[in-house]
Amino acid sequence: MDPPLPYIYGIKENANPPKWLVEHVDAVRAGQPKKWAPGETPWPQAPIGVNANKQPGSK
């Protein structure tokens, strides 16, 4: 995706997003973590091995 984090999904739509939207999205993104510990990501991890029921952090 170009840019990687668009304000609006769609090439034409993201070409000129409203100023209020840009300000709001930038404010939300400013409060989000920028770095993660090695092996961690901001999204759920894929199952490891053949038994997805016994993954770390699952109940």
Domain contains 21: yes
Question: Which of the four pLDDT bands, split at 50, 70 and 90, describes residue 21?
Answer: very high
Average pLDDT over residues 30-51: 82
Cβ pair 7, 21 in contact under 8 A: yes
Residue 41: what pLDDT? Answer: 83
Q: Give the model's confidence band at 55: pLDDT under 50 very low, under 70 low, under 90 confident, else very high.
A: low
pTM over 0.85: no
Residue 13 within a domain? yes
> Which residue segment(s) compose the domain that 16 sits in?
1-29
Query: How many structural domains comprise the chain?
Result: 1
Q: Would you put residue 49 in left (φ > 0), alpha (ψ -120 to 50) or beta?
A: left
Residue 50, domain member (yes or no): no
Q: Above 90 in pLDDT, residue 39?
A: no
